[in-house]
Structure 1
Amino acid sequence: MELIGRRAECRQLDEVLHAVRSGAGRALVLRGYTGVGKSALMEYAVRQAAGCRVVRVAGFESEKELAYAGLQHLCTPILDRLDQLPDPQRDALSTAFGLSAGPVPDQMLIGLAVLSLMSHAAEGQPLICVIDDLQWLDRASVRVLSFVARRLAAESTAIFMATRTDDPQIANLPTMEVEGLGRAAAAALLDTVWTGPLDERVRQRIIAETRGNPLALIELPHDLMGHELAGGFGMHSPAGLSARIEESFLRRVEALPHDTRRLLLIAAAEPTGDPTITWRAGALLGIDIKAAAPAVADGLAEFGVQVRFRHCLVRSATYRSAPLQELQMVHQALADVTDAERDPDRRAWHRAQAARGPDESVAAELERCADRARARGGLAAAAAFLEYATMLTLDPNLRVDRALAAAGAKVEAGAYEAAADLLDVVEQSANTDHQAARAELLRARLAYVVGRGSDAPPLLLKAARRLAPIDPALSRATHLHALQAAISAGRLSMGGVMEVAEAARNLSYPADPTLTDLLLKGFSTYCTEGIVPALPILRRAVAAARGDVPEHERNLLWLAGMAALPIWDGESWDVLSARHVELARRAGALAELPLALISRSMMLVFSGELTAAGVLLDELKTVTEATGLALGPEPGLVLAAFSGDQAEVRAIIESTTADIMLRGEGIWLSTAEFCEALLNNGSGDYAAALPLAERAAAQADLSSSSKRAEVELVEAAVRAGETSTAAEMFARLQEETSASGTDWALGIESRSRALLSEGPQAERLYLKAIERLGRTRMRADLARAHLLYGEWLRRERRRIDARAQLRIAHDMFELMGMAGFAARARTELLATGETVTKRTTAPSGPQLTAQEAQVARLASEGLTNGEVGARLFISPRTVQYHLSKVFTKLGISSRAQLADVLSSHES
């Protein structure tokens, strides 16, 4: 069938199909209002896709809450390739689809599994995926499809999505805006469907009022009386065009025989389009198979391999116009014929729609559905099941418990307004202290996830206190959560870290404490009593984290790494940060991976491994783009500060400070001040560094930035002539470093004391600092010790000795990429009479794109294509595509050559 007036749109679809046949992947969103022709254009694409494998799905309004329902319908024809997926991906997808039991799968791991599945399915012939009515597809499926659509680089796969509405999940995908037909095309279409006499004024009015909407042009003339078409003006404008079209379809449905209408209603309530279920439900209600004929003859529906309505508005008109009792009867019939073993969730949903009032058996079944949905990672579905179970519950206590569970699921699913509404109901109806405490905890969690600012710590603390006599373990976990929230809020918190720490210090702790207990007790003791009494507890917490950590406490590894900082245990920080990244990657815990990558990259930056930190931050960017998680600017900011990139540091601070203040995340203010202080110390601008370091060090929080600002403050104050300020801060710093006794701590202590010393004592301290720090992996601190010693030697007029130390410092800074400190060392060397050649940073030779460089680095470490793809959220085929370009650019022919060539290329 020729599509009138759609030449440009068809050409764009043809271009996508041509690219896919050539081995490239493409995605295209068709967006437009009801009836404008999106479905017709996708049917055109399907007809043009000769020789391709086509899979398709349409969203159904009644299935919008069933997690991964749409995705499963789409993928069912290609699940024969499931065994070809890597184990974590196969297990995640099988669990999401309810094909097997397992731990809750991460949504982005499911996305990677679908990408791999489609990649394998497209090996023999191009794969075309057609998704209609995306606005009614469940949110879990939309997020996964959006993830996949962005990663089709070399997949021979096309994804066409049609939607009526804007959706942030697909906002950045290539989009075709489908508009109404122009007047000439609209007139031509109208002429094809209305061949009788038509008054020209009415003809023009139809074209104008339909705004070129093809479905309206085809359907509405049939709904007008003959005298109206002959010259009357009976066609009035309703509230909306889609309502007018739906009204037209409704009149046609109402004209059908009773049994035909009921059969259409069964089909409208049954979202899978399975004719067997439709016929069996019809038989239960005494409907003969012949009842379908009038609907088919009128072009309203097809009853073939699948039951399909001519348009989604036929379905909605049929369903919405049915009386409540009729709907309940149809849903009960569908529940009776739906297999309880194979499809228990859909059966329960039908039973819920059929319920005529509170029904405990249905509510209990919906609760079980919620458990299954949660196990598959379908938080939105779990929330919907629990909310409906609440509505069907008569017992007041049980009703509140289910409402609490529903509110918790809504919070996890990101439905914050719905969660708040449920909590309003709970707080008015709570009958027990436990219910009231759980409601307070949920209210606090809601405040934390929505704002992560100053409101959350006092609410979490209030909830923790209320839980103490009811559930001590949950109370302690909530206290720790409150402490984390207070650390994040920093100086902007209404109560602050100290208030939470004071509360936690007075708690009773079990004889056999968990990692949660040790971290809470250690941090609260540190805040309220100082490092000496806290040291053994923090060491025990760090040791516990380095041992076997239960899965539910794995997300605390970053906090355990933070606990290693006040005790100056660089080795444990290294071990814990590396382990956290490894566990998160292995488990596919993509929601947890960003925090693990931040912790690891920070550790690498402080140890002077700036290139390795940059690689992790590239991965972090990939992960955050894939997951949509918003993170503060700390990782890139700290790297830019150590690199001496003044423009980047200031650009990040200027672009993020207003948003940070709005969100109430004061920890980032300390980070920004520390980074600017470090940057100014690196360039020798000590007067500028001093007030910044003072502000950051003055914060009584537990952030690494505040602690490290103390070190920057000592150096800046000494060089700015503020000796008393430097001595006061050194005394505070020494309390921790002396108690710790590690080489890192004592090395920093000796280096800082040397700045305040003179003569032979200063030299002994500098040498001691170099010896101590040389036994650690903290190469940035070691290089700074050589620099400070060299500067001291030059001022002592020992130029030859100074050159040796300054040359070591300069070369170390250059190799690490710490350009600001390298420039400072270069200036000092020049002052000794040394000739210094500045290392060139101009690129030479073939340049790799950012993704090519990432792929090349990971492949050079020995990772397989599948492992590289899992790390970068692309398919193995796309990895190979990038590697082939890398090989060509670098003039190599095998992976074995990559490491040497990359090392040489970067040098």
Structure 2
Amino acid sequence: MSLIGRQAELEHLAGLIEDIQHRGGALLLSGAPGAGKTALLAEVRTHCASAGVRVLAANGVQSEQQVPFAGLHQVLYPVRTGLNGLPAGQRAALGTALGLADGAAPEVCLVGLAVVNLLAETATTAPLAVLLDDVQWLDQASQEVLSFVARRLCSEPAVLIATHRAGEPSALTSAGLPERVLDRLSAEAAAALLDRVAPGLPAPARARVLDQAEGNPLALTELPSTATESSPLALTPRLEQAFAARADALPAATRHCLLIAALHEHGALAEILAAAGLQPEAGVAALRPAVTAGLITLDSEVIEFRHPLVRSAIAQSAELGSRQAAHLALAEVLSGQPDRRAWHRAAATLGPDEQVAADLEATADRAQRRGGVAAAISALERAAHLSADPADRVRRLLRAGELAVDSGHRDTVDRVLAELRALPLTARQRSLAAWLPSAFDDGVSEGAAGPGELLTLVEQVLADGDLDLAMRIFWGTAMRCFWVEPGSAVRARIIAVADRLPLPAHDPLLVAITAYVAPIDRGDVVVARLRELAAEGSGDPIAYRYLSSAALQVGALTESARFSAAAQPGLRSEGKLALVARALAVQAWSCVRLGDLLTAAPAAEEAAQLARETRQPYMYGLARAVQAEISALRGEYEQAETLAAEAEQVGLAAAARPVLAKVQLARGIAALGAGRYADAFLALRRVHDPADPAYQLALRCYLLPELAEAGLRCDQADEVRKIVADLEAAALSTSSPALTIGLRYARAVLATDDRAESLFRTALEADLTRWPLERGRLQLAFGEWLRRQRRPADSRPYLRAARETFDALGMPGWSERARRDLRATGEASPEHREDAYHDLTAHELNIARLAAEGLTNREIGERLYLSHRTVSTHLHRIFPKLGITSRTELGAALQPTPA
């Protein structure tokens, strides 16, 4: 390897290749144009050849950005026959994306899972390196799929190495990949490189080049030819100017071919020469001077520019008329490829042209069917600009905006709305435009309309008879009432409109809307309908998703856990990862309160991961807050605070009340466990204060046990009694299980001694089979009360039961409290042995549980969006941690050890 000044980078890359059999992964190489990124990638390719590593590659080209999955097609073309070995759903998704089959528009993550498995299978015959040059210029759909893939190669004999031009946006730069930035060469290395490429350069010119090149390898190579010139331009434009000057010195026929090649998507020689009107032999002859000038390389099929700056220099230095003519010539050659033809015709068109606009809209249709949403948006925006009729322009812009909402591109929506402000809109179009910015992050983000404003839109759209649009807006309106507090008057208005909707009373979406907007006032109705719908069992994952959210709002946590678990298989199989993240967050939240940390921990971990991947910051904050609660219950107080602080930062950014409420709950639990009762009370009290950003109408009902205990232990029992009285009134309207259980606990622990025992016994007589954490708390509190009443013999059964419960639930801080009280009664407790599964990470625990349920490695991989080989690798790490040797032993290994 002979690159000067890049020894550290070369050694790092060589290490990735040499270690590929033991560990896969990804690396992003970033740097300025000419920093040597492509040269490093070439060295990696050479190293792969000597190491027996197979290479798949793609080069990003600006002119190909509008072709959906073009970059992915480059990568996978050599292994395309492997599609036949993929599971049917993945095969269909990837085939549709690549244009090899017709089907429903695939979700990006389903395409990504197909690619992960295809690469994993390919890597079984030889280790694999995926080399991507200039990823910022790959089409957006390919970038998103390859980002998904890059995060999932760590257990495969495969690496993905991508180069990225610093300062350019790319999905891979926000994927959390390891990154290595190529800085300028040191003075010594720059001088050595210049002496190699221009050994006879006079001293004054040499000094000028070293100064102007700023340690940039490409500049050091190219600027010696212009060393006598000085230029005020920045380095990149100066290099482009140097390349353009070199091209200007070539014959006219060569310049004409070069311009067409610069505007062509992927350098196919036959198409370029046909567009130039040249026969192959004459065309190759015309291009020879460009090869001699060091601007291109040429083989029998492809023209490749020596550097992307050569391509851009030639395109930008050409006159407008010449560029238009070149685009039109390419459009004629590409008559059998309607999408590429449409884009070249659009590039050649300056004013309105309805035919070109219609062709681009048809291109958008095809891109959308293949799952290339970003390409569809670009085509629609360009079609809008070429529309002769303002009504067509509005229609196309709004369609682009709706697609941008569905794919999470807020910047596109802002751009679309800026253009719409100057155009005439119908009432429906004004409503749609007003709703678009509110569709991001559940409307919590800055600039979104409030619930009251959205409700006005709902009423307008309903009056126009568009129920589908009205329900899209109404669902967002209802969810807004979860994240922010609109006040009782707005909630009443929303419910009044909900009551007039032409939907059956048991419609899952209507049930969820009612729960979000009036979790207390309509709690009885929602709980009853949830139980009826649970008995019916629709099987629809979207319906289950609505019902799980509704159940969470009204504290029906067993139903919430059940519905959220039922929603996930269908959502996963459809590749709807954004909704999977939400279902997992609901499941984790519910299971924590039910004491099922074994389910909650991996659900919360995956929810956080998927929320980050799908750009849902507030769901990420919510998942992190649930993880903080889990850590607090496990007695991991420092970890709980770390997670709570991270979640709080997310929640405070937009006053996302559920995140902040959950943070205070986690802190309250941690403070209780550490014996800091005043701190616990202050944290938990905030959730009940309407003036506090952590106040949340529904969630304040579900943390009474913690608040009551904290208040009792820091002389704030009277303050807690006021809150309990308020919630007693709320309980008249809702049969919320969480509220009912919390009130029973609070009544008992706050009661006078003459009433406490009967209240404890009443609370314990309730069916708490699915609420072991709450049962354990009651047993502990009752046992402690009995001991304080000097009834040690009576207290022991309750303290013993609490100890066993908390041991089984994996809550050592709580079980130690029970042990201390038992010791005070004269009874010793057996030492609790930590279950082996506590050594598993949340991710490993998830895989282990699925394997214990009987799922195969391939089924687990499809469920968790991993290759089946990655699953196998994880299981081989899991077995020794659990002290087992086969998956048949997993079920027993994941059971809590009896006390």
Indicate whether the TM-score tops 0.5. yes
Shift of 1:834: 2.8
CA contact (8 A) 1:451 1:664 kept: no
Question: What is aligned with 2:477?
Answer: 482
Q: Please state whether the residue corresponding to 1:131 is helix, strand or coil.
A: strand
Is the Cα–Cα contact under 8 Å of residues 25 and 158 in structure 2 kept in the other structure? Answer: yes
Kindly indicate whether the alpha-carbon contact (under 8 Å) linking 1:460 and 1:478 is maintained by their aligned counterparts in 2.
yes
Compared CA separation, residues 784 and 773, structure 1 to 2 (3 A): farther
Which of the residues 856, 859, 870 maps onto 2:851? Answer: 859
- Aligned: 1:204 with 2:203: no
Q: Distance in 2 between matches of 1:378 and 1:718?
A: 59
Deviation of the 1:376 alpha carbon: 3.5
Tell me the distance in 1 between the aligned counterparts of 2:458 and 2:143: 37
TM-score by length of 2: 0.88
Residue type of the partner of 1:88? G
Structure 2: how far apart are the matches of 1:726 and 1:17? Answer: 62
Query: How many pairs were matched up?
Result: 881
User: SS at 2:57's partner residue?
Assistant: strand
Residue type of the alignment partner of 1:330: A
Distance 1:53 1:655, change over 3 A: closer
TM-score, normalisation: structure 1: 0.87
* SS class of match (2:33): coil
Q: Any conservation in 2 of the 1:560–1:576 contact (CA below 8 Å)?
A: no
* Corresponding residue of 1:52: 53
Change (3 A) 1:905 1:157: farther
Pairing 1:337–2:343 present: no
Question: 2:234 maps to what in 1?
Answer: 240
In the alignment, structure 1 residue 609 sits paired with structure 2 residue 596: yes
Query: Would you say the 8 A contact 1:65–1:384 is kept in 2?
Result: yes
Contact 1:538 1:564 in 2 (8 A): yes
Match of 1:884 among 861, 876, 882: 876
Q: Distance in 1 between matches of 2:880 and 2:780?
A: 43
Counterparts of 1:204 and 1:595 in 2: how far apart (Å)? Answer: 60
| Deviation at residue 817 of structure 1 after TM alignment | 2.5
Letter in 2 for 1:474: L
Distance 2:332 2:791 in 1: 94
1:438 CA drift (Å): 1.3
Deviations 1:656-712 (A, max 9, x none): 435422322122333233444455566776655555444423559766531113454
- Answering whether residue 463 of structure 2 is matched by residue 469 of structure 1, we say yes
Match of 2:14 in 1: 14
Q: CA deviation at 1:804?
A: 1.3
Matched with 2:529 is: 540
- 1:560 equivalent to 2:550? Answer yes
**C-alpha deviation, 1:894, in angstroms:** 2.8
Q: What is the distance in 1 between the residues matched to 2:836 and 2:582?
A: 35
2:307 corresponding residue in structure 1: 311
Amino acid at match of 1:294: P
- Cα displacement (A) at 1:579: 0.9
Distance 2:864 2:827 in 1: 46
Q: Which moved more, 1:283-292 or 1:650-659?
A: 283-292
Specify the alignment match of 1:818 in structure 2: 811
Aligned CA distance change for structure 1 residues 746 and 433 (closer, same or farther; 3 Å): closer
Contact 1:610 1:816 in 2 (8 A): yes
Per-residue deviation, 1:777: 0.6
CA distance in 1, matches of 2:776, 2:863: 33
Give, as a single letter, the amino acid of the residue that structure 2 aligns with 1:304: S
Match of 1:372? 366
Cα deviation, 1:857-887, whole Å, max 9, x if unaligned, reads 4433333222333444443223333333444
Question: Residue type of the partner of 1:861?
Answer: E
- Give the direction of change, closer, same or farther, for the CA distance of 1:238–1:551 in structure 2 (3 Å limit): farther
> How far apart are the structure 2 equivalents of 1:753 and 1:655?
34
Structure 1 CA distance for aligned equivalents of residues 315 and 345 of structure 2: 17
Deviations 1:60-104 (A, max 9, x none): 112234443212222221121112223333333223323334444
Q: What is aligned with 2:563? A: 576
Q: CA deviation at 1:349?
A: 1.6
Partner SS, residue 56 of structure 2: strand
Q: Give the corresponding residue for 1:163.
A: 164
CA change 1:24–1:457 in 2 (3 A) is same
Which residue in 1 is equivalent to 2:154? 153
Q: 1:198 to 1:755 in 2, by over 3 A?
A: closer
Looking at structure 2, the residues matched to 896 and 757 of structure 1 have their Cα atoms a distance apart, in angstroms, of 50
1:576 Cα shift? 0.8
Instruction: Work out the CA distance in 2 between the residues paired with 1:184 and 1:688.
Output: 60
Verify the 8 A CA contact 1:790 1:806 in the aligned structure 2. yes
5 Å matches for 1:115-154? 115-154=116-155
1:258-277 aligned within 5 A: 258-277=252-271
Native 8 Å contact 2:745 2:778 kept in 1: yes
1:297-696 superposed matches below 5 A: 297-301=292-296, 302-338=298-334, 340=336, 343-445=337-439, 451=445, 456-470=450-464, 471-490=466-485, 495-496=486-487, 498-506=489-497, 508-510=500-502, 512=504, 514-521=507-514, 523-524=516-517, 530-531=521-522, 535-536=524-525, 539-540=528-529, 543-544=532-533, 547-548=537-538, 555-565=545-555, 569-624=556-611, 626-627=613-614, 629-630=616-617, 631-632=620-621, 633-678=624-669, 689-690=680-681, 692-696=683-687
8 Å Cα contact 2:808/2:896 also seen in 1: no
- Which residue is equivalent to 1:29? 28
CA distance 1:275–1:198, change in 2 (3 Å): closer
Does the CA contact (< 8 Å) of 2:541 and 2:568 recur in 1?
no
Cα pair 1:674 1:706 within 8 Å, conserved: no
Aligned twin of 1:833:
826
Any conservation in 2 of the 1:713–1:729 contact (CA below 8 Å)?
Answer: no
After TM superposition, the structure 1 stretch with the greater mean CA deviation from structure 2, 717-726 or 610-619, is 717-726
Name the stretch that deviates more: 160-169 or 590-599.
160-169
Deviation of the 1:388 alpha carbon: 0.4
Return the letter of the residue paired with 2:528: R
Contact 1:53 1:126 in 2 (8 A): yes
> How far is the alpha carbon of 1:523 from its aligned partner?
4.9
Task: Kindly provide the amino acid, as one letter, of the partner of residue 27 in structure 1.
Answer: A
Show structure 1 runs of 5+ residues with no match: 225-233
Residue 896 of structure 1 is matched in structure 2 by 888
Change beyond 3 A, Cα 1:583–1:557 = farther
Check the 8 A contact 1:710/1:729 in 2, yes or no: no
**Matched residue SS, 1:124:** coil
How far apart are the structure 1 equivalents of 2:871 and 2:441?
Answer: 41
**Which has the larger displacement, 730-739 or 462-471?**
730-739
What percent identity do the matched residue pairs reach?
Answer: 34
Alignment correspondent of 2:64: 63
Call closer, same or farther: CA 1:203–1:698 in 2, change over 3 Å.
closer
Paired position in structure 2 for 1:230: none
* 1:801 equivalent in alignment to 2:791: no
2:96 aligns with 95
* Contact 2:596/2:809 (<8 A) preserved: yes
Q: Equivalent residue for 1:109?
A: 110
Instruction: Measure, in 2, the Cα distance between the counterparts of 1:792 and 1:13.
Output: 65
* 8 Å contact kept, 2:5–2:186: yes
Q: Pick the aligned partner of 1:296 from 269, 291, 296.
A: 291
Change (3 A) 1:578 1:803: same
Pick from 222, 225, 229 the counterpart of residue 222 of structure 1.
225
Kept in 2, the 8 Å contact 1:260–1:291? The answer is yes
Report the Cα offset of residue 891 of structure 1.
5.9
SS in 1 for 2:422: helix
What SS does structure 1 have at the residue aligned with 2:125? coil
CA 1:274/1:553 → structure 2, altered by over 3 Å: closer, same or farther?
farther
The residue type paired with residue 19 of structure 2 is: A
How much has 1:742 moved relative to structure 2? 8.3
Q: Deviations over 1:509-542 (max 9, x none)?
A: 2153543233334554556xx24xx523553356
Query: Structure 1 residue 43 and structure 2 residue 34: aligned?
Result: no
